[in-house]
């Protein structure tokens, strides 16, 4: 989760603790504990109003300790959320802070609840109301910056009060307090909003919820740089010495002293650096960085686009001044920071860090390094649910093959397929002829059954819809394929040349298929280690449609010469919704036939709002089709042509 979005879920964590036990809340005479338990029971029953009233009183009760007050504040906020009373949150938080100004737990809880709520509201009659459902005729405003400022002020006071209370600064609680302060500092300022960290938030100012623009907009920018050198943030000597919010953020995470909190600080810093300097920032310019998969590797080892040539202390990133290749010191290198996390014994941090390093090296096309990260993750933490880690590793190191989409090709001429593969040195192909007539027959039967109010059924398979006839690929995704194939059309083999570093290669494969028809082609690499399938049309005829005056005109022609095909039979099959005598809509079908004239033309008057399938056939075996066309036809409006004289 990005740093700026990782807010501690005090609201739900607090309620979860409340719901699970009341034994932790030892207070005077046990009274607050009993009331907390009662509120818990009411909330479990869905009595949010009564539970909220108990929580509200308990938050302000001086006999309740600070921890209990903080948890009850979270409970009260949850009840308001369930009752759609978010407009009351501001008053509740301010009342709690005013009643318990010296309790750092309450101050921290109020700040985090403010960070989790809706950051928008309405201003009407010089009064701010949070939420978008209470419009009251006012103008909608965005309040993220105002909420952030208020939360920062409360957290600063919380830090002071925590010190005054004697809370050890190397404790886990104090470390989390600093991390919460850091999260609030960077809220709305991560990713392409990080340029705002160059400014210093005025922490002496009071948040103004009245005199602000309606919906603020801040432009997205890439990592700021001066003279192509990225701006970085070092740890200042003190909070007061920080030159900007970026320095304050570094100071805050540096104060986390507990073992777990130190790892949390490193993760926050790594995520921030990754959002600024990773090669992922080039994503919108991928048209420039599209990797070549041919045999010419020269373009991939030269120039700024060669991300696979980066060392671990280098990156190619898009800065505010453009795309640059530069080195990064360990302190500002996201790879180094994630390596620190990966080296820890804490699974909560080490396993995600290895996953991010895996993806980082994938983005850099450094697949051996990516595989090493995944092997380490598997060795230390197991293969993951459903062995997903092993699958990711095998996708890199094992033979893989896929077909690129290919358009229709002309019968009687050489045909080709586009193949993408890696880690494979041989491939075997098998092609089968697809029985398009059986597909069409079963599709018509399926729609007719629907028109008779029967359950969906295609080819004897319950709940299956007819496929797209021009590309029925979903029918052949399962191992069994003999249902709609007429027989084996061809087999052939080809040797492949493996590229280094587990890189992909794309080549054109010549096929022996030249007879008109629809073919299912399967490729198996390295004796069946991996396989892929595709469909390929080889056509000798083309059918085109043009709207006419209240009718449709169809033209059948030779795919090579364009000459008209006369005497072809055109079968029209349409389906759509029709209102019955009871006023209820149900499926209806329509079918008829027509023939092309000497010019290869046939006309048809088709029902509007139907989906139409048109199949053209000739006595000598030609076939062409148009699939699933939604028709809306109307008569042409007559145009009056009048001569105008100036």
pLDDT of residue 12: 45
Helices and strands, number each (H, E), in the chain: 16, 24
**pLDDT at res. 419:** 97
**CATH code of residue 467:** 2.60.40.10
pLDDT at 473: 85
User: Lowest mean pLDDT: which of 277-286, 298-307, 391-400?
Assistant: 298-307
The answer on 443 and 326 residing in a single domain is no
Length of the chain: 646
Rounded Cα distance, 184 and 6, in Å: 9
Give the pLDDT band (50/70/90) at residue 134. Answer: low
Cβ–Cβ < 8 Å for 167, 258: no
Does 495 map to a domain? yes
Same domain, 104 and 189: yes
pLDDT score of 22: 35
What number is the average pLDDT over the span 113-133? 87
Residue 135 DSSP symbol? -
Average pLDDT over residues 445-474: 88
| Res 138 pLDDT > 90 | no
Instruction: Point out which residues pair with 173 in neighbouring strands.
Output: none
| Residue showing tokens 């007061």 | 240
Which stretch of 19-28, 37-46, 401-410 has the lowest confidence by average pLDDT? 19-28
Average pLDDT for residues 28-45, to the nearest whole number? Answer: 80
Whether residue 463 contacts residue 457, with contact meaning beta carbons closer than 8 Å, is answered with yes
We report the CATH number of the domain holding residue 567 as 2.60.40
pLDDT, tens only, 50-71: 999 999 999 999 989 999 999 9
Question: pLDDT tens, 521-533?
Answer: 999 999 999 999 9
Structure tokens at 212: 């602000």
Give the pLDDT confidence of 305-336 residue by residue, as tens digits: 689 999 999 999 999 999 999 999 999 999 99
pLDDT confidence bin for 494, thresholds 50/70/90: very high
Work out whether the CA dihedral 199, 203, 204, 206 comes out positive or negative: positive
- Measured N-to-C along each axis, helices 66-82 and 104-116 cross at an angle, to the nearest 10 degrees, of 20
And the tokens for 338?
A: 């994630």
Count of structural domains within the chain: 4
Q: Where are the beta strands (DSSP E) in 182-307?
A: 225-226, 229-230
Is pTM beyond 0.75? Reply is yes
Q: Does the pLDDT value for residue 18 go beyond 80?
A: no
Higher pLDDT, 302 or 382: 382
Closest listed residue to residue 65, CA positions, set 105, 112, 34 = 105
Task: Tell me, yes or no, whether 322 and 199 share the same domain.
Answer: no
pLDDT digits (tens, 9 = 90+) for 595-617: 999 999 999 999 888 999 999 99
pLDDT of residue 301: 47
Query: CA torsion 354→359→364→370, rounded to 10°?
Result: 50
Of 169-178, 221-230, 265-274, highest mean pLDDT: 265-274
- Backbone φ and ψ of 625, nearest 5°: -145, 155
Nearest to 89 by CA among 59, 68, 50: 59
269 and 284 fall within a common domain: no
Full 3-state SS string of 512-567: CCCCCEEEEEEEEECCCCEEEEEEEEEECEEEEEEECCCCEEEEEEECCCCCECCC
Residue 438 pLDDT > 80, yes or no? yes
Average pLDDT over residues 410-439: 96
Same domain, 379 and 256: no
Residue 313 and residue 337 in contact, taking contact as beta carbons nearer than 8 Å: no
Report yes or no on 644 lying in a domain: no
* Band of residue 304 on the pLDDT scale cut at 50, 70, 90: low
Host domain of residue 314: 279-397
What mean pLDDT comes out for the span 428-453? Answer: 93
Find, among 233, 231, 227, 246, the residue nearest to 322 by Cα: 227
Residue 139 lies in a domain: yes
Considering the domain boundaries, does residue 210 fall inside one? Answer: yes
Query: Where does the pLDDT of residue 424 fall: very low under 50, low under 70, confident under 90, or very high at 90 and above?
Result: very high
Specify the 3-state DSSP secondary structure of 65: coil
Average pLDDT in the chain: 88
Identify the domain boundary among 508, 539, 570. 539
Q: Phi, psi (5° rounding) for residue 135?
A: -70, -45
Cα(115)–Cα(390) distance, rounded to whole angstroms? Answer: 39
Report the Cα 567 to chain-centroid distance in Å: 52
pLDDT for 528 equals: 93
Residue 641 located in a structural domain: no
Please check the confidence at residue 202 and state whether its pLDDT lies above 50.
yes
- For residue 25, the model assigns a pLDDT of 36
What's residue 15's pLDDT? 42
Identify the CA nearest to 492 among candidates 417, 427, 421: 427
Comparing 22-31, 158-167, 406-415, 537-546, the range with the smallest average pLDDT is: 22-31
132 and 30 both lie in a single domain: yes
Q: How far apart are CA 523 and CA 540, in angstroms?
A: 25
User: pLDDT category, 396, cuts 50, 70, 90?
Assistant: very high
Q: Which residues contact 610 (CB under 8 A, 6 or more apart)?
A: 574, 575, 576, 590, 630, 631
Is residue 213 over pLDDT 90?
no
Q: Token pair of 252, please?
A: 């805050």
pLDDT band at 580 (very low <50, low <70, confident <90, very high): confident
Rg (CA), the chain: 34
Identify the bridge partners of residue 531 per DSSP, sorted by sequence position: 524
Residue carrying structure tokens 């009233």? 53
Is 552 part of any domain? yes
142: nearest Cα among 127, 154, 132: 132
> Within 13 A of 224's CA, how many CA atoms are on the CB side?
14
Same domain, 507 and 569: no
Assess if residue 363 is contained within a domain: yes
**Which of 397, 412, 438 is the endpoint of a domain?**
397
* Tokens matching residue 580: 């019955």
Residue 129 tokens read as: 């109301």
Within this chain, do residues 408 and 499 fall inside the same structural domain, yes or no? yes
How do residues 98-116 score in pLDDT, each as one tens digit?
A: 999 999 999 999 999 999 9
3-state secondary structure 137-163: CCEEEECHHHHHHHHHHHHHHHHHHHH
Do 506 and 593 reside in the same domain of the chain?
A: no
Task: Provide the pLDDT for residue 305.
Answer: 67
- Asked which of 31-40, 91-100, 134-143, 620-629 is least confident by mean pLDDT, the reply is 134-143
pLDDT at 14 over 70: no
Q: In this structure, is residue 640 part of a structural domain?
A: no
Domain identity same for 513 and 583: no
User: Considering 520, 539, 558, which residue would you say is the last residue of a domain?
Assistant: 539
Share of the chain above pLDDT 90, in %: 71
Q: What is the pLDDT of residues 466-487, one digit of tens each?
A: 999 888 888 888 777 778 999 9
pLDDT at 5 over 50: no
Q: Sorting pLDDT into bands at 50, 70 and 90, what band is 586?
A: confident
Statement to judge: residues 63 and 150 lie in one domain: yes
My answer on whether 201 and 303 are in the same domain is: no
């Amino acid at each position: 989760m990005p740093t700026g979005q990782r807010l501690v879920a005090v609201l739900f964590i607090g309620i979860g603790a409340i719901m699970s036990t009341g034994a932790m809340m030892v207070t005077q005479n046990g009274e607050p504990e009993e009331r907390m338990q009662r509120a818990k029971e009411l909330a479990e029953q869905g009595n949010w109003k009564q539970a909220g009233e108990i929580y509200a009183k308990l938050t302000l009760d001086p006999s309740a300790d600070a921890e209990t007050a903080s948890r009850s504040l979270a409970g009260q906020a949850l009840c308001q959320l369930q009752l759609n009373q978010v407009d009351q949150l501001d008053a509740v938080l301010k009342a709690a802070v005013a009643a318990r100004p010296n309790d750092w737990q309450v101050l921290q809880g109020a700040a985090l609840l403010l960070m989790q709520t809706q950051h928008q509201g309405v201003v009407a009659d010089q009064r701010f109301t949070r939420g978008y459902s209470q419009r009251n005729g006012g103008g909608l405003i965005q309040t993220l910056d105002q909420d952030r400022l208020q939360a920062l002020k409360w957290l600063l006071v919380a830090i002071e009060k925590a010190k005054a209370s004697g809370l050890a600064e190397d404790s886990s609680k104090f470390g989390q307090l600093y991390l919460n302060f850091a999260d609030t500092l960077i809220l709305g300022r991560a990713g392409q909003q990080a340029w705002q960290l160059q400014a210093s938030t005025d922490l002496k100012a009071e948040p103004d919820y009245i005199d602000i623009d309606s919906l603020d907009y801040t432009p997205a920018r890439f990592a700021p740089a001066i003279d192509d050198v990225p701006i970085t943030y070092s740890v200042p000597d003190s909070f007061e010495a920080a030159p900007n919010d970026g320095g304050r953020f570094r100071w805050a995470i540096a104060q986390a002293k507990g073992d777990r909190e130190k790892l949390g600080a490193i993760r926050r810093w790594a995520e921030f650096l990754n959002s600024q300097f990773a090669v992922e920032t080039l994503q919108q310019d991928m048209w420039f960085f599209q990797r070549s998969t041919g045999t010419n590797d020269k373009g991939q080892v030269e120039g700024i686009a060669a991300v696979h040539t980066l060392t671990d202390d280098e990156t190619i990133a898009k800065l505010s001044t453009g795309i640059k290749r530069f080195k990064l010191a360990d302190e500002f290198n996201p790879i180094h920071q994630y390596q620190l996390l990966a080296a820890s014994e804490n699974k909560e941090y080490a396993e995600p860090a290895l996953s991010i390093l895996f993806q980082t090296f994938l983005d850099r096309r450094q697949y051996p390094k990516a595989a090493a990260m995944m092997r380490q993750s598997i060795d230390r933490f197991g293969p993951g649910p459903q062995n997903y880690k092993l699958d990711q590793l095998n996708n890199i190191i094992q033979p893989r093959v896929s077909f690129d989409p290919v358009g229709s090709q002309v019968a009687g001429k050489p045909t080709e397929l586009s193949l993408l593969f890696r880690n494979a040195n041989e491939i075997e192909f098998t092609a089968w002829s697809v029985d398009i007539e059986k597909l069409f027959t079963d599709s018509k039967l399926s729609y007719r059954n629907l028109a008779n109010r029967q359950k969906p059924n295609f080819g004897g398979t319950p709940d299956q819809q007819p496929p797209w006839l021009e590309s029925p690929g979903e029918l052949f995704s399962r191992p069994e394929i003999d249902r709609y194939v007429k027989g084996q059309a061809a087999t052939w083999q080809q040797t492949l040349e493996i590229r280094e570093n587990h890189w992909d290669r794309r080549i054109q494969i010549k096929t022996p298929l030249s007879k008109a028809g629809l073919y299912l082609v399967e490729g198996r690499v390295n004796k069946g280690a991996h396989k892929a399938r595709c469909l390929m049309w080889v056509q000798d005829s083309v059918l085109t449609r043009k709207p006419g005056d209240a009718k449709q005109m169809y033209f059948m022609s030779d795919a090579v010469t364009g000459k008209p095909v006369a005497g072809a039979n055109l079968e029209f099959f349409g389906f759509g919704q029709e209102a019955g005598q009871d006023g209820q809509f149900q499926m209806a079908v329509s079918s008829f036939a027509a023939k092309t004239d000497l010019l290869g033309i046939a006309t048809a008057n088709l029902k509007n709002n139907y989906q139409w399938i048109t199949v053209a056939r000739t006595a000598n075996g030609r076939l062409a089709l148009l699939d699933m066309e939604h028709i809306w036809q109307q008569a042409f409006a007559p145009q009056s042509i009048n001569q105008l004289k100036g």
